Amino acid sequence: MSAEELTGRRDDHSPRPGPLPAGEGGRAREASHGKPLWLLAELTYKCPLQCPYCSNPLDMARYTDELTTEEWVRVFREARALGAVQLGLSGGEALVRKDLEDLIAEAHRLGFYINLLTSGVGMDERRIRAFKEAGLDHIQISFQASSEELNNRIAGNRSFRHKLAMARLIKKYEYPMVLCCVLHRHNTDQIEQIIEMAHRLEADYLELASTQYYGWALHNREALLPTLDQVQRAEAIAHRYQEKLKGKMRVLYVVPDYYEDRPKACMKGWGSIFLTIAPDGTALPCHAAGSLPGLTFPNVREHGIEWIWDESPDFNKFRGLDWMKEPCRTCPERTKDFGGCRCQAYLLTGDAANADPVCSKSPHHLELQRRVQAIAAKPPEQTVPLVFRNMRNSKRIIAGGS
Amino acid sequence: MAKTFRFQWEEAQGCHVLLYPEGMVKLNTAAGEILKRCDGERSVAEIIDDLGAQFPGADGLPEDVLTFLNTAYDNQWIRLEAS
């Protein structure tokens, strides 16, 4: 899992600072077992883009049996009855689903605030208008870079000009627009141009999301990890623009956690507010949790959402504090960051109940730092090639290739 | 209300909320009652009068409403329109 705030994106998760004087405090925050306020519907893993940092599972080619329109509508209805209010329609590329307009209309009738998280490829003015009529609230469009050449190289297709046209149409139809760009070694140095581009396109929010290493991103980590110099420079520029564009465009910068010494409060805690449904109906506490061993995860085809959320052993597995080991168990910050990310703990230490090794208190922290330094120190000519995210590569990896 | 925010009652949470791209603000009763009246028709004075009529015992109500509306304006939840 890889999120820290109320967001439903697949390749990053950044804060949308929700202020609050008059409320109970900003973004929805619940105790260890609250309501699934955030429902992320990964409608399909099909995608016309091939971004090598995608957080979809490497074995996505296995997910061929997608939920039908009726099955998704039942998921929406049951989650809404449990208190879900933010709905993310994602993928893959959600636009691949021909029934997207119908799903939006139904979710709107149920009272969801509906976020479409998209590359823009598969969109045109007719669909943008139809989505509006159906009740879509917000569109988040991704860019891979600020230059056509790099955008298209990372996306693995010629999508840059189309994305520009779609961003303008999104504003023409008066949607709030979030422009999202995932940062890594290849585009971090363009950060200033990316911010200027988003501002010119009149984005309401810009999410500069450092790559988080799950799924395809972990597979490509050696080729994607930026150097500490790059990160520090990007962070300074992002902060400068946050001040400069105050009141015009909100710039959200998600720090790369490999360079941190405290872990993120991933997903606000396991089974706390996030519920992800994969294309085949598998229910997950976050979109990366499918990689954890020893968990089977319930499927909406076999169980209702209420049982999945409240009763299923997998959603209860890392709730609360009882599952923790040292150093988390006695750490004063355990109720703040919940020991970090379970997936990262597993992927980097082999045990999901360990402290996230991003934390300097983790016995694995030094080893992670050494690994990060070794990767970042490699000169550009020694960088390994990117493995692009597509079904062909997924099938090859399933078959045991690399 | 600003176009980028949606205001609605959430039964499951028993409160009004403000919804925006990928985020939510939970509002307490007073904030909910005030924003409910920000309909683009009523003036600030009318909002205060209306709340005063509905909650006659509330002390310092005009100040509280103005303080909240300022906060709401600073957060860009509401916009001002010349009448």
What local confidence, expressed as pLDDT, does residue A211 receive? Answer: 96
Encoding tokens for residue A195?
A: 């911010």
- What is the pLDDT confidence band of residue B83, given thresholds at 50, 70 and 90? low
Distance between CA atoms of residues A384 and A361, nearest Å: 31
Reported as a pLDDT band with limits 50, 70 and 90, residue B58 is: confident
A205: pLDDT strictly greater than 70:
yes
pLDDT reported for residue A3 = 27
Record: contact B28-A83, CB cut-off 8 A? no
Judged against a pLDDT cut of 90, whether residue A17 lies above it is answered with no
Q: Name the 3-class secondary structure at A152.
A: helix
> What's the whole-number mean pLDDT along residues A301-317?
97
Q: Is the peptide bond before A401 cis (omega within 30 degrees of 0)?
A: no
CA dist A142 and A125 (Å) reads 17
A37 touches chain B (CB under 8 A): yes
Comparing C-alpha atoms, which of A184, A254, A187 is closest to residue A226?
Answer: A184
User: Does the pLDDT of residue A129 top 60, yes or no?
Assistant: yes
Give residue-wise pLDDT tens across range A70-92.
Answer: 999 999 999 999 999 999 999 99
* Mean pLDDT over the full length of chain A: 90
Q: Measuring CA to CA, how many Å separate A65 from each of A199, A278, A303, A389?
A: 40, 11, 17, 19
What does the pLDDT average to over B51-59?
86
Residue A318: which residues within 8 A CB-CB, separation 6 or more?
A270, A271, A285, A338, A342, A352, A353
Q: Which of A16, A85, A247 is closest, CB to CB, to B10?
A: A85
Length of chain B in terms of residues written: 83
Instruction: Quote the pLDDT of residue A133.
Output: 98
Residues from chain B contacting residue A9 (CB–CB below 8 Å): 22
Concatenating the DSSP letter of every residue in A334-402 gives HHHHTTS-HHHHHHHHS-TTSPPTTSTTSTTHHHHHHHHHHHHHS-GGGPPPP---SHHHHHHHHTT--
Residue ranges of E strands in A158-258: 177-183, 205-210, 250-254
Structure confidence at residue A28 as a pLDDT band (50, 70, 90): very low
The model's confidence at residue A210, banded by pLDDT at 50, 70 and 90, is very high
For residue A279, cis peptide bond before it (omega within 30 degrees of 0): no
Q: How far apart are CA B44 and CA A94, in angstroms?
A: 43
Q: Is B79 on the interface with A (CB under 8 A)?
A: no
User: What H or E segment, with its residue span, contains residue B34?
Assistant: helix B29-36
- Assign A12 a pLDDT band (cuts: 50, 70, 90): very low
Structure letter (DSSP) for residue A144: S
**Mean pLDDT for the stretch of residues A208-230:** 94
Summarised one tens digit per residue, pLDDT across range A239-296 is 999 999 998 999 999 888 899 999 999 999 999 999 999 999 999 999 889 889 889 8
Which residues touch A294 (CB under 8 Å, ≥6 apart)?
none
